[in-house]
Structure formats: C-alpha cells, structure tokens
Amino acid sequence: MNTSLENKTILVVDDDADICEAVRSALEEAGGSVILADSVDSAFETYRQRPPHAVIADIRLGKSDGYALIKAIRQTDSEYRGFTPVAAMTSFASPDDESRALAAGFNAFIAKPFDSQSVVAVLAKLLKDRGD
C-alpha cells in the first residue's frame, strides 16, 4: 500500500457523486482520510470546522464554483493552518483554464478524466512541498 497520504485528511469537493467516490477510493488506498462535500457552502463549513491537510475541488459546482471556494479558503487560511494546499479538478482542461486556476490561488491542476495514481501523486507532492 502506498502510504504517502498516511494520517492526512483530504477534503474532496465535487457535485458528482461518482467522481467523489472515485477520488475517495484512490485517496483512502493511499492511506488518506477523506471528507466529501458537494457544494462550496458545505465545503467551506467543513474547512472551517475541521481544517483538512489538503483540498481537491471541482471548478464547476452547481450555482457556485471552485473559484469562490479558493477565495474563501485563502482569505481565512491564516486562522487555521497558515496555508492549505488546494488542487483544482476540472473537465475544462485547456492551458488557459490551468493558468486561471493557478492565478486564483490553486496550487495544482488535475484534468478530468484523471487516473487515481496521478491524483494521489499530486496530493502527496503538495503535502510534501508544504512540509507535511
């Protein structure tokens, strides 16, 4: 078993239940603990009450979007952990989409469809870079 996410809590935000389950499975196989959210509001409430080690958030989330979530996280990060690594996950995967996500404050960009190993690798790298 890959233990690169051992003892790490990851918040996964996507309004597609199948995507959530696929990501959850990959992260749990790598030793991570996963919290799921299907909206910006529920994700941010979870983030505030139980700050995760990292977040994976879809860009397109119903009435809101991942950009609203990353803005809220970055505005309040210092109250909790100082800095939370956040990866954008989206089916809008052009270079412009990636540039926009990174400029908005995301630390990594995962294009859908994705493979489980790459999701784990991205999170492991973000957490390693942060010093976790």
Q: Domain residue spans in the chain?
A: 9-130
Q: What is the pTM of this model?
A: 0.91
Report the pLDDT averaged over residues 67-95.
Answer: 86
Q: How confident is the model at residue 76 (pLDDT cuts 50, 70, 90)?
A: confident
pLDDT, tens only, 21-61: 999 999 999 999 999 999 999 999 999 999 899 999 999 88
Strands in 33-37's sheet, in edge-to-edge order, are: 33-37, 9-13, 54-58, 86-90, 108-111
Q: What is the pLDDT of residue 102?
A: 95
Residue 1 scores a pLDDT above 60: no
From the options 3.30.300.30, 3.40.720.10, 3.40.50.2300, 2.60.40.10, give the CATH code of 9-130.
3.40.50.2300
Q: What is the pLDDT of residue 132?
A: 63
Report the pLDDT averaged over residues 63-89.
Answer: 86
Residue 2 scores a pLDDT above 50: no
Q: How confident is the model at residue 81 (pLDDT cuts 50, 70, 90)?
A: low
DSSP codes joined into one string, 65-127: EHHHHHHHHHHHHHHHTS---EEEEES--SHHHHHHHHHHT-SEEEESS--HHHHHHHHHHHH
- Determine the longest span between alpha carbons in the chain, in angstroms: 38
pLDDT, tens only, 91-106: 888 889 999 999 999 9
Residue 3 scores a pLDDT above 70: no
Give percent of the chain with pLDDT exceeding 70.
94
